[in-house]
Amino acid sequence: MHFSVLDADRSSKSSSFGAHTMKESIMNQEKLAKLQEQVRIGGKGSARRKKKVVHRTATADDKKLQFSLKKLGVNNISGIEEVNMFTNQGTVIHFNNPKVQASLAANTFTITGHAENKQLTEMLPGILNQLGADSLTSLRRLAETLPKPAGENKAPMVTVEEEDDEVPVVVAKRNNTTPVTLTCGTKIDGPVTWKFDGEVIEDFDDYIQPDGQNLKVSGVDAPLLGEYSCWSGGEMLLSTYLLLEAEEEGESESLINCWAKSYDCNFNCKWTNSRYTAVRLGLDNECAKGGKLCHWVRSSDGGFQFELSHSLSPYAEETTMIELTAEAIVSLFVFRITTSFYLRDIVQPDSPQIVMCQEMDQNLNVTIKPPSSWSSPHSFFSLEHEIEYVFKDDGKVGRSSSSLIPKSVSKLRVRSRDSVVLSTWSQWTPWKNLRTKANNLCKCRNTAKYCCPELPSGYLDQCQKKRKKSAKSSKTS
């Protein structure tokens, strides 16, 4: 019974609480609506929202990276002046004086520093020695799109990459029974007329036979050599020279002299015999394929000079020889030779520069700078220098492979070569007279003639002022 009373009270209280709660909920909704009208988020006069920004440093990431590199066994590579990374889009990611680390075993290289994204043309010509075969091809295509400066065709030396509307040459092999076919170049409607050395070929024989619009020449020998031209009406369609392969000559390799000033992508060659009327050079089988880079060059001032390009990387070990084919025309015969060499065997640097002669305690320290044409960075492509000097007292000549030489010398000169492969020595620099005493240092303005110590800033300007003052005093007196 007691339980039922309690249950009735609870039911009564529950009903009363429910009614009160519903009424309070309606009042709260009205209050919320009024508050929502008063509160604005953002805009003038509203409260500024605060956001906590957590500033994080890259120290933790750097430590993880350095720990990973340490596990790979990377080592620092010192003396790197620049790093250039070539992209497929023709741009260069350039690092100046970066920190470079490497692990050859893990095939891992790291470059740390400020990177700049530059166009390939901005980096020229300083990066030519760093370009591989793919980049060189892209560079050539880019150069073709650029406007040519006026007077470009007036260069004194003819290169193998010049465009030339030369007359085609067909070379017949000696003692070959297969007929040589000469073509008109383009097919046209109607008959054509062939001429030999300007005369119309009317009577065909066993040696010269028409083959449609083409012409077949058999048993090629001296009487059949010369210019063949194809005509339609009064218009010449094509002119071709039929020449014969000449017999080999002794000591043929001595006819070509090649040299390179550095390990960059170019080298020069000279055909030394001037009795030939035209010569062409090509790499590998470029001439045999009739490539555009292999064309005939006529003699200029009694000689033939060429500039050729190769695709060898200057940083890789050279395992493949350069194969060079030369063809030369003498009379109506073509003389052909092939020679092979390593680029390192023809490298001969230009003469270096003597920068400064500084007196030490017992010796004279000579500062030498590599030639501007030498490959860079110089920390990788190192040169060794040899100094030749003349003593003041007795005129005897001495040489030193060190930068330190005796003090008692009157003049000196320098030459250089590759210190790794011991290439051919460069030409000697001109002699330079030594100036170390204070009363002679005003002559140091002539850097081509004198080797001097490092002078204080403005020293030579003071010399000029003294000279003018002395000249003025002599006039007044």
DSSP letter string, 447-468: TTTEE--PPPTTHHHHHHHHHH
State yes or no: pLDDT of 9 exceeds 50. no
- In one-letter notation, the amino acid at residue 278 is A
Choose among 417, 393, 400: nearest CA to 363: 400
| Cis peptide bond N-terminal to 179, omega within 30 | no
State yes or no: pLDDT of 19 exceeds 50. no
User: Into how many domains does the chain fold?
Assistant: 4
Query: What is the overall mean pLDDT for the chain?
Result: 77
117 by Cβ neighbours in 10 Å (0-12 / 13-18 / 19+) ranks as: exposed
| CB contact at 8 A, 270 and 257 | yes
Other C-beta atoms closer than 10 Å to the C-beta of 426 total 23
Q: How confident is the model at residue 61 (pLDDT cuts 50, 70, 90)?
A: low
Q: How confident is the model at residue 404 (pLDDT cuts 50, 70, 90)?
A: very high
Highest average pLDDT, of 158-167, 174-183, 256-265, comes from 256-265
State yes or no: pLDDT of 150 exceeds 80. no
d(CA 226, CA 244): 10
Looking at per-residue pLDDT, the higher value among 425 and 12 belongs to: 425
Handedness of CA 460, 461, 465, 468 (dihedral sign): positive
Do both 340 and 261 map to the same domain? yes
Q: For the domain that residue 327 is a member of, what is the CATH number?
A: 2.60.40.10
Confidence at residue 275, expressed as pLDDT on a 0 to 100 scale: 80
Do both 238 and 316 map to the same domain? no
Do both 192 and 133 map to the same domain? no
Does an H or E element contain 432, and which? strand 432-434
Looking at per-residue pLDDT, the higher value among 347 and 74 belongs to: 347
Q: How confident is the model at residue 162 (pLDDT cuts 50, 70, 90)?
A: very low
Domain annotation covers residue 179: yes
Domain enclosing residue 223, as ranges:
169-245
Domain annotation covers residue 285: yes
Do both 312 and 271 map to the same domain? yes
Looking at per-residue pLDDT, the higher value among 376 and 131 belongs to: 376
Confidence at residue 64, expressed as pLDDT on a 0 to 100 scale: 77
**Mean pLDDT throughout 394-416?**
94
Residues across the chain: 477
Confidence at residue 8, expressed as pLDDT on a 0 to 100 scale: 37
Q: Of 11-20, 25-34, 199-208, 386-395, give the lowest mean pLDDT range.
A: 11-20
Could you say which of 185, 218, 245 is where a domain stops? 245
334 by Cβ neighbours in 10 Å (0-12 / 13-18 / 19+) ranks as: buried
Looking at per-residue pLDDT, the higher value among 154 and 420 belongs to: 420
Do both 182 and 238 map to the same domain? yes
Percent helix, percent strand, percent coil in the chain, to nearest 5: 25, 35, 45
d(CA 192, CA 184): 9
Structure tokens given for 97? 């004086």
Q: What is the DSSP string of 145-180?
A: HSPPPTTGGG-SS--TT----PPPEEEEPTT--SPE
Domain annotation covers residue 469: no
Q: Of 103-117, 159-173, 295-309, give the lowest mean pLDDT range.
A: 159-173
State yes or no: pLDDT of 155 exceeds 60. no
Do both 365 and 424 map to the same domain? yes
State yes or no: pLDDT of 143 exceeds 60. no
Q: How confident is the model at residue 252 (pLDDT cuts 50, 70, 90)?
A: low
HSE-CB of 168 using CA atoms within 13 angstroms: 15
Do both 129 and 209 map to the same domain? no
Do both 400 and 422 map to the same domain? yes
Give the pLDDT confidence of 344-400 residue by residue, as tens digits: 999 999 999 999 998 888 899 999 999 999 999 998 999 999 999 999 999 999 999
Per the DSSP assignment, residues forming a β-bridge with 256 are 271
d(CA 385, CA 415): 6
d(CA 299, CA 321): 28
Taking the chain, what is the end-to-end CA distance rounded to the nearest angstrom?
149
By three-state DSSP, how is residue 353 classified? strand
Percent of the chain with pLDDT strictly greater than 90: 18
Domain annotation covers residue 37: no
Do both 71 and 122 map to the same domain? yes
Own/partner pairs, 445-452, CB within 8 angstroms, 24+ separation = 451/354, 451/356, 451/357, 451/366, 451/412, 452/356, 452/357
Residue keyed to tokens 């001097």: 452
Could you say which of 321, 345, 369 is where a domain stops? 345
Confidence at residue 148, expressed as pLDDT on a 0 to 100 scale: 44
In this structure, the strands spanning 108-112 and 99-103 are: antiparallel
By three-state DSSP, how is residue 194 classified? strand
- Angle, vertex CA 110, rays to CA 383 and CA 78, nearest 5: 30
Domain annotation covers residue 100: yes
Q: Of 37-51, 55-69, 262-276, give the lowest mean pLDDT range.
A: 37-51
Do both 304 and 262 map to the same domain? yes
DSSP state of 23: H
Q: Of 31-35, 54-58, 269-273, 339-343, give the lowest mean pLDDT range.
A: 54-58
Phi then psi for residue 321, to 5 deg, are -80, 150
Q: What is the DSSP string of 240-263?
A: EEEEEEPPP-TTGGGGEEEEBSSS
Choose among 164, 213, 165: nearest CA to 185: 213
**Mean pLDDT throughout 143-147?**
48
Could you say which of 245, 275, 297 is where a domain stops? 245
Structure tokens given for 42? 């953002």
| CB contact at 8 A, 426 and 371 | yes
Domain annotation covers residue 229: yes
Confidence at residue 398, expressed as pLDDT on a 0 to 100 scale: 95
Q: For the domain that residue 135 is a member of, what is the CATH number?
A: 2.20.70.30
Domain annotation covers residue 164: no
Give the pLDDT confidence of 165-217 residue by residue, as tens digits: 456 788 888 877 888 889 887 778 888 888 998 888 887 788 888 888 888 88
Residue keyed to tokens 């805009």: 43
**Mean pLDDT throughout 74-80?**
82
- In one-letter notation, the amino acid at residue 390 is V
Q: Of 91-100, 193-202, 436-445, give the lowest mean pLDDT range.
A: 436-445
Q: Of 102-111, 296-305, 308-317, give the lowest mean pLDDT range.
A: 296-305
Choose among 225, 272, 276: nearest CA to 253: 272
Do both 336 and 362 map to the same domain? no
Does an H or E element contain 138, and which? helix 133-145
Domain annotation covers residue 12: no
Highest average pLDDT, of 17-26, 41-50, 102-111, 391-400, comes from 391-400
| CB contact at 8 A, 324 and 258 | yes
In this structure, the strands spanning 208-211 and 169-172 are: unpaired
Structure tokens given for 460? 């030579």
